[in-house]
A and B are shown apart, each in its own frame.
Chain A
Amino acid sequence: MSTKTFKVKVKRQDEAASASYWQTFDVDYTPNMNVISTLQKIAAKPVTADGKDVAPVVWDCGCLEEVCGACTMVINGRACQACSTLVDELLEENPVIQIEPMSKFPVVRDLWVDRSRMFNNLKRIKGWVPTDGTYDLGAGPQETQEEQDLRYAYSRCMTCGCCLEACPQFTKDNDFMGAQSFAQTDYFNSHATGKLLADERLDVIMGPGGISDCGNSQNCVQVCPKELPLLTAIASVGRQATIYSIKRFFTGKK
């Protein structure tokens, strides 16, 4: 009995400091597979197409429903989520599926990368609303539907890193923060309570690697799987920075 198989080419790397290499696997086809289930099949039978026994391919994942961002990898040349990328669609464009880790983050092993640069940036921009107090702060201010819509869109960010992977200004050896940080800055700066930390966020976002390093290629908005309004985020943080720098110049703060 012959089962239908398809080829998967995986870029592998044994540890953070070692060199990468490619391996090809034949994977049994079943309908409606996604890339995670493909990787699971490889893990169950880690034998390359030319019959060599190898260590199973390592990857990272969490939610399996495109909300945590952990499974982001470069599939057929595009940064996307392995859990929501369907094999049938990939086979339509190419008989061989090519999977690599994201190139802009340090590889931990195989397809698993270290995305802590993004989480550190969230800490640097104080990506939270300061609600702790010694007394009841009461109900928050009223917000228009429009404000809520924009912030809902920003809230969908899953820190996946696609926008940074595609960004020509974001490289492994510079300190650019990228669209994800700018979107979250606008997200919290436009919140009625989050605004309390707006100046502190701008101090960070106007430093090295901040908003002024964006080169306006707009790749980020093209690749963001959660369709964040990143054009608005970048221009709006740019506007806040313009106003804040004038204010800072004339009020003499710092």
Chain B
Amino acid sequence: MSDSTVALAEPNSAFGKYHFLLRRLHSLSGIIPIGLFVCVHLFTNAQMILHTLFGVNPATGESYFQHEVNFIHAMPALELIEYALWASIAFHAVLGFVYIFNSKWNTTQYKYEANYRYTMQRVTGIIAIIFIFFHIATLRWRWDIGGFWYTPFWGHGGELADNSTIGMGDMKHVPMSLPYTAYALQFHWVVLAFYVVGVLAAIFHWANGLWTAAITWGLTITAASQKRWGVVCWALGIGLTFAMTAALIGAMTYNFKDMTVDQKTVFTHVLPQDQVTRFLGEGVTKADFPLEAIMEKAEH
């Protein structure tokens, strides 16, 4: 038979020339910038359960979790880190989709455990990118999705629902991290379900990715070593699942009555009255928390 039956990519095309490099950068971008970040992020969030367990720190009047958030916000070059993360996620996701379209899943025919994980690696990658997008869109860019999935707070402060002349910048000193996360999750079960699915997908994707990466880079050469490393990756995945569970319990059990007076001021002025009633009880209104007090503090 002639050679013409063999389809060969153009080795001199940009994709061909840097083929190996791109593939290895894809692997690296998954392990270090994105993967390590997801790991640290889950660990930090797990500390939301500290509020459920220990309440507020009597010294500062803040939740213990807030301490961790303040730590992240105080990190040097935070914006640089944020852009670097975006760049690696975009790079990893774009190449990920190229790879997905260049292959053909076949779990219906070949029902092997590793083959299911191969397919799951691709499915969870797609779920993860959808989840990450909505997660950031709602918590960071403050999008309102379907009227039930949104976060009415911006960064550390809040924006006022009424037409007050006070801008959100004026309330930047009021830490809202735990209340806003808890609010987003407690608002509707759909949000909670999406978080569970999205975070589990990301955890599986990273843990299984670490397992395949050890083959990709040639660390685990024998079947026995791949099995051993698989146990380590499973343990990591289970550990991160515990961290996720702790974070969700923390957010779901958060009692908004524990908020500081400043936080309650932001909360009542930002949210519609029915939500204020739902989370702070009958009869509480924004009139109980005058904005002036908060403004005075901001000036000092």
Which A residues are closer than 8 A to B by beta carbons? 77, 106, 108, 114, 116-117, 120, 166, 168-169, 171-175, 206-210, 212-219, 222-223, 229, 231-232, 234-243, 245
Contact = CB atoms under 8 A, between A and B. Distances in A.
Contacts of B114: 216-219, 222
19 contacts: A77-B109, A166-B106, A168-B118, A169-B102, A206-B20, A208-B19, A209-B8, A210-B19, A212-B24, A213-B102, A231-B215, A235-B215, A235-B222, A236-B221, A238-B218, A239-B217, A241-B218, A242-B218, A243-B218
A218 B5 contact: no
B97 interface: no
A169 B98 CA distance: 12
A238 B215 contact: yes
A216 B19 CA distance: 17
Looking at chain B, what size class is its interface with the partner chain? 35 or more
Contact of B5 (A77, A117, A216, A229): A117
B3 interface: yes
Contacts of A208: 8-9, 11, 15-16, 19
Contacts of A210: 19-20
A218 B23 CA distance: 18
A107 to B, nearest CB: 11
Contacts of A218: 112, 114-115, 118
Contacts, number: 131
A215 to B, nearest CB: 6
A240 B8 CA distance: 23
Nearest to A239: B218
B231 interface: no
A216 B103 CA distance: 12
B218 A212 contact: no
A215 B103 contact: yes
Given A219-B110, A231-B223, A175 B5 contact: no
Interface in B4-30: 5-9, 11, 15-16, 19-21, 23-24
A173 B20 CA distance: 20
A235 B20 contact: no
A215 B118 contact: yes
Nearest to A108: B1
Contact of B220 (A77, A219, A235): A235
A235 B226 contact: yes
Interface string B214-236: 11111111110010000000000
Contacts of B15: 208
A153 B82 CA distance: 49
B16 A235 contact: no
A97 B112 CA distance: 23
Contacts of A214: 216
A243 to B, nearest CB: 8
